[in-house]
Structure 1
Amino acid sequence: MSSKSRFIGAVEIGTSKIAVLIGEIVQNTVNLIGFGECQSHGVMKGVVTDFKAASDAAHNALITAEQSAGVKIDEVYLAQSGGHLEGFYNQASVSVSAADNMVSQMDIDTVCRLAKAKALPEGRMVVHHIRRPYLLDGKMVGANPEHLNGQRLEVGYWTVHGQEAMIANSIHVIRGFDVRVGDMILASLGSGTMVTTQQDRQHGALVIDIGAGTSDFVLYRDGVPFMTGVVPVGGEHLTNDLTLGLRVTEGQAEKLKLRHGRANVITHEKGKKVWLNGDYAIGDRQFPQQTIETITAARMEELFEVIKKKLGPALAPERCAAGVMLTGGTAKLPGIEDTASAILGLPAQRGQMPPGLEQKLQDPSHTAVLGLLHYGLQSRGDRPLQKRRATGGILRKLFPARA
């Protein structure tokens, strides 16, 4: 390995699993060299609820990843999810200051600062400022309007913020392993990076990552993230619904979900039954197939209805030509594309992972952690990672002595 290499980890602390991916960064390329995963503990709906349990699980995953790579991680990108995350849009405009109406860097800096200046309630802090395209005299311009001629420059940001204490807890889990958190990245942005192309994002696409405890979504328009959100509903809720509806244990419900659950109802024979274990041994039980499908389909329909409501008029079919990409472990549920399409009013498909990945990384449950490395190495928003850290921000606010 090159002496100039950096070893970056991507960490997702999920409800059902904690995943760690290690990439070797050489110049502008990244090689995947290590992976670790373990069952999650002390995490509910994407939020750390038991610090010691979550730390132990995360450290096991980190150690496994480092051992598989044969290196020590220099820093990590940490995925952020959870129902505490919220977003809003704020826009600002300035008059171009130069007498010849040529946009200067000062004009750009001023309008960006004003657009990001909206105050947050106490106890909340910014996770991401996601910039939308610049407008010059009402017309969309490129990524950098400097030296263009016009009279009025506008820009807006979709700002994602969360509970400061919950964000601090997830960072503490990683810092307990004596690894620096280089930056935090929304899980939805990681997933979106993996299952869409630049053309998809330009045409408009909605990516929904359905995990165990949460579902993260990002709507792309004009090539950039337009809106993001988190719904505290995932695969575990289907299991819980089956547990209550069929009066079975959680383990039995999980088995029935994986074998017979669907996101739509296709069984119309009320008398058709399925076996729990299928070995017909003493204690094996039968359950109505239609009932199982009805329970799981109802929860998935509810999820897509909630996402549709959150997006509101932003979910315009004419601005989302690439349709819906579904990923995450629960996206493997049969019939999910049909249900998503029927409710969201857009063509839906399972997101495709890039070719060339190892078999174990091709599972859609790994979409977010894979995307963290790719997204984190790009110029995020309007400043690359190194500049973000140098100017302070969330990590400096939470940990002034070490960030």
Structure 2
Amino acid sequence: MSRTKFIGAVEIGTSKVTVLIGELTQGRTLHIIGVGECQSRGVIKGAVADFKAASEATHSALMAAEQSAGTRIDEVYLAQTGGHLEGFYNEAAVNVSSADNLVSSPDIDTVCRLAKAKNLPEGRMVVHHLRRPFRLDGRNVPDPEHLVGQRLEAGYWTVHGQEGKIADNIHVIRGFNVRVAELILSSLASGTMLASAEDKQNGVLVIDVGAGTTDFVLYRDGCAQLTGVLPVGGVHLTNDLSLGLRVTEGQAEKLKLRFGRGTVVTKDRSEKVWLNGDFAIGDRQFPRHAIEQITAARTTELFEVVRKKLGAAFSPEKTAAGIILTGGTSKLPGIDEAAARVFGVQARLGEAPGWVAENLRDPGFSSVLGLLQYGLSSRADLAAPRAASRATGWVKKLFATA
């Protein structure tokens, strides 16, 4: 009988660090028993810029989660984001080796190894190999073993990042004396939490709009086809308001949260809103239309960049399940309308499954919940965990020899 394990899910974001602790019983039962949050410091656009500050914030969140759970964490599943992450597609084909054209396990191993064999530039390392459906004599098959055919093909979307930036993230966790079990893309974590198997089969785009980054993953035929990260998020809407209205960033953030929108709905350009609403000294009025115009323009621009990044991989006809929006910035009213206009498909706000507690249903928890689900379930719908394990192991060796 296997012992109970306590697994942490950690997301070191631009605005906050979030930690969940899950209890893994008999390798398959999930219970969330601890939550910890801390305002992020030393993180810019999803990357560690000040190691000491980022470590202090992360360790505070980890300690809060352990106190909440009443136990120590055994290992951590760590979210990966940041503009340094990139991806490419590579495929390979082999002739089925047996005389009776029956696909064997060695045939599958060979074609997968060849499809993942493309070399990376110096200073880059693999985070995930995401396999698309196998093709046997030109038709998609989920598992080709024991099927009859002559030509077997496999393709992978390979996500890679800068060794130094990935090492920084892992070193932050190691400083808390806990092991990093896996590196998981934030977009995949959100996707596994919010997109159903039917969504993924029909085609769905999951977009996680955070404070400093926007992560996205496109699913088709039940698999992740392509992922990406933009170093743009809710902070940039705040910056635009600060510049456009000539206010401090703190004041701009307040205006964004109270009056910002993904689309412009105010028609009366003379309508004014108060900064604080208390009419005290320093309280000021601003045109509501101008606030909406600024936030809507940046929101539309963000989605246009995502669509450009997707290129020919995205088509409305092959994305029948539309777009799922999540992340803290997805709470901006009208953001779903803005996404629908840019992509030409329906867009909706992601909803956590019914088993998620009310205090964790905020879209800001989607990614870290997905991390925990992946860590606690051997059947989690994320591609190639062994590839991520190799990446983590490589970084451990890096620290061991440093």
Residue pair 2:79, 2:185 contacting (<8 A) in 1 also: yes
Counterpart of 1:180, as a letter, is R
Q: 1:240-259, aligned counterparts within 5 Å?
A: 240-259=239-258
Residue in structure 2 matched with residue 24 of structure 1 by the alignment: 23
2:109 is aligned to 109
Distance 1:361 1:50 in 2: 29
What is the CA distance between 1:382 and its match in structure 2? 6.4
Deviations 1:139-194 (A, max 9, x none): 1112x211111100001000000111000000000000000000100000010111
Q: Distance in 1 between matches of 2:251 and 2:340?
A: 30
Aligned mates of 1:350, 1:238 — CA distance in 2: 19
Q: In structure 2, what is the Cα distance between the partners aligned to 1:189 and 1:135?
A: 23
More relative contact order, 1 or 2 (CA 8 Å, 6+ apart): 2
Once the two structures are superposed, the pairs formed by residues 234-383 of structure 1 within 5 Å of their partners are 234-376=233-375, 377-378=377-378
Any idea what SS the aligned residue of 1:270 has? coil
CA contact (8 A) 2:205 2:217 kept: yes
Distance 1:187 1:383 in 2: 15
Alignment of 1:376-391 (within 5 A): 376=375, 377-378=377-378, 389=389
Aligned partners of 1:139, 1:198: CA distance in 2, in Å?
A: 20
The CA deviation at 1:381 is 6.0
- Please report the TM-score for the alignment, with normalisation by the length of structure 1: 0.96
CA-CA distance at 1:398 after TM superposition: 1.8
Identity among equivalent positions (%) equals 64
Counterparts of 1:291 and 1:384 in 2: how far apart (Å)? 47
Q: 1:384 Cα deviation (Å)? A: 5.1
In structure 1, what is the equivalent of residue 41 of structure 2?
41
Return the alpha-carbon distance in structure 1 between the equivalents of residues 221 and 286 of structure 2.
48
Flag the 1:319–1:147 CA change in 2: closer, same or farther, 3 A.
same
- Counterparts of 1:110-129 in structure 2, within 5 Å, are 110-129=110-129
- Gaps spanning 5+ residues in structure 2: where? none
3-state SS in 2 of match to 1:399: helix
* 1:396 counterpart letter in structure 2: G
SS at match of 2:61: helix
CA–CA distance in structure 1, aligned partners of residues 373 and 2 of structure 2: 22
Q: Quote how far apart the aligned CAs of 1:360 are.
A: 2.0
Task: Provide the aligned length of Structure 1 versus Structure 2.
Answer: 397
Aligned partners of 2:139, 2:51: CA distance in 1, in Å? 49
Instruction: Give the equivalent residue in structure 2 for 1:194.
Output: 193
Deviation of the 1:279 alpha carbon: 1.1
SS at match of 2:108: helix
Contact 2:24 2:31 in 1 (8 A): yes
Q: 1:270 to 1:157 in 2, by over 3 A?
A: same
The CA deviation at 1:358 is: 2.3
Aligned to 2:391: 394
Contact 2:128 2:388 in 1 (8 A): no
Describe the superposition over 1:165-224 as per-residue Cα deviations: whole angstroms up to 9, x where unpaired. Answer: 000000000000000000100000010111111111111100000000001000000111
SS of the residue 1:233 aligns to: coil
Which secondary structure state, in structure 1, belongs to the residue aligned with residue 88 of structure 2? Answer: strand
**Cα distance between partner residues in 1 of 2:150 and 2:157:** 24
Separation in 1, partners of 2:357, 2:220:
31
CA–CA distance in 2 between the matches of 1:304 and 1:148?
42
TM-score (norm 2): 0.96
Question: Structure 1 residues 382 and 108 mapped into 2: Cα distance closer, same or farther (>3 Å)?
Answer: farther
Q: Could you tell me whether the CA contact under 8 Å between 2:316 and 2:343 is conserved in 1?
A: no
Give the superposed CA RMSD: 1.6
2-structure distance, mates of 1:383, 1:89:
15
Q: Give the letter for the 2:260 counterpart.
A: G
Q: Tell me what 1:92 maps to.
A: 92
> Which segments of 5 or more consecutive residues in structure 1 lack a partner in the other structure?
none
Aligned with 1:181: secondary structure? strand
* C-alpha separation in 1, matches of 2:369 and 2:355: 13
Q: Distance in 1 between matches of 2:385 and 2:30?
A: 16
2:63 aligned residue: 63
- Is the Cα contact below 8 Å between 2:182 and 2:385 reproduced in 1? no
